[in-house]
Amino acid sequence: MSKLVTQRAAGESFVGPAVEARGLVKHYKGRDGVVEAVRGVDLRVEAGEIFGFLGPNGAGKSTTVRMLTTLLSITSGTARVAGVDVAREPDVARLRMGVALQEAGLDARQTGRELLVLQCRLFGMSADDAASRAQELLELVDLVDAADRRIKGYSGGMKRRLDLASALVHEPQVLFLDEPTTGLDPASRLVVWEEVRRINGHGTTVFLTTQYLEEADQLCDRIAIIDGGRIVREGTPTQLKTELQVRLGLDDEPSLDDVFLDATGRTRERVAGVVREVGA
């Protein structure tokens, strides 16, 4: 297998949407009953888009991403990424997608370079190809100086960038980023935004979750808002703002914050009330 298959599978173009989910459901069975984390999600992300997936804590964003990226079994429904059914052909799907999860999954005992080389090898590259691809990526995310130090000593931002680089080893067609900028300082956040735009500019579809509405507004072509395991809004940021403005008869255009609060049944007044209660 190895290089040939990797390149062929990754390079193979597909027709239709980059991500397509139908009736996606996830139930977690635990000691204290069943948690219905995702309750019938339909999604369609076109090839070449930057798609933002928003929602309050516990809404089911990570669960959805984990199902789409083959890391979690699907209770019911189907999902296709880059034209491949993730449940039926997980390995083919894995070749076409890159994943950086909410907790940057890194191994503190390896150096940044070793981690990237290993990741390249796992995607079927030869030792030589892996070494040069790792160097390329280190330059890309500006980690050349730290490349041969153990990851243990990296800062939060460096870890995020390394995690992002490791999701790119095989030039995926669809890139999943679960909260890529959480915990980053404003400058590092801008660096990640730039990187996401650049990756997208090369034709990679990006599916990202975020807590930052400004991020979604700046970066995303289209967004969906999930709440309580169900999609409650979907459209371009402008469409969603206009819809709210018209519906409520507002004079000024609302912000995406307002859309979010409206969609998730939270109002500024109620949120402020909670804050006051907590503060008192």
Partner 1 sequence: MSYTWVLGRRALREALRTPEALLPTLFIPMFFLVVNLGQAGKIFPSSTTGFLDGQNYGAFQLPSSMLLAASFGTAALFLVEDIEGGYFDKLRSSPVPRTSLVLGRLVAEVVKGLGIAIVLVLLALPFGIHVASGFVGFLLLIALTALWAVVYVGFMQLIALKTRSAAATNSGGLIFFPLLFLTPNFVPRHMLTRPMEIAATCNPVTYVMEALRSLILQDLVWGRVLTGFGVVGALGVVMVMLNLRMIRHYD
* Binding region for ligand ATP (CB under 6 A): 28, 30, 35, 37, 55, 57-63, 102
Contact call for residue 62 and Mg ion (CB under 5 A): yes
Contact call for residue 6 and Mg ion (CB under 5 A): no
Which one of the spans 115-123, 181-189, 194-202, 260-268 is the region binding partner 1 (CB under 8 A)?
115-123
Tokens of 156: 């939060």
Question: With respect to partner 1, which residue has the nearer C-beta, 48 or 90?
Answer: 90
Rounded distance, CA 222 to CA 3, Å?
Answer: 34
Rounded distance, CA 191 to CA 184, Å?
Answer: 10
In the bound complex, what is the minimum distance in angstroms from residue 278's beta carbon to partner 1? 30
Site string for partner 1, 136-155 (x = CB under 8 A): --------------x-----
In the bound complex, what is the minimum distance in angstroms from residue 53's beta carbon to Mg ion? 10
In the bound complex, what is the minimum distance in angstroms from residue 56's beta carbon to ligand ATP? 7
Contact call for residue 63 and Mg ion (CB under 5 A): no
Contact call for residue 71 and partner 1 (CB under 8 A): yes
> Which pairing describes strands 222-227 and 205-210: parallel, antiparallel, or unpaired?
unpaired
In the bound complex, what is the minimum distance in angstroms from residue 73's beta carbon to partner 1? 5
As a whole number of Å, the CA-based R_g of the chain is 20
Binding-site member from 61, 94, 113, 222 for partner 1 (CB under 8 A)? 94
Judged by CB under 8 A, the chain residues 148 through 207 that form the site for partner 1 are 150, 163, 166
For residue 80, the cross-strand partners are 20, 85
Question: With respect to Mg ion, which residue has the nearer C-beta, 61 or 133?
Answer: 61
Rounded distance, CA 1 to CA 233, Å?
Answer: 43
Asked if residue 197 lies in contact with residue 227, where contact means CB atoms within 8 angstroms, the answer is: no
Exposed, middle or buried by CB within 10 Å (0-12, 13-18, 19+), for 1?
exposed
In the bound complex, what is the minimum distance in angstroms from residue 235's beta carbon to partner 1? 29
Asked if residue 79 lies in contact with residue 85, where contact means CB atoms within 8 angstroms, the answer is: yes
Q: Which residue has the tokens 């069975």?
A: 29
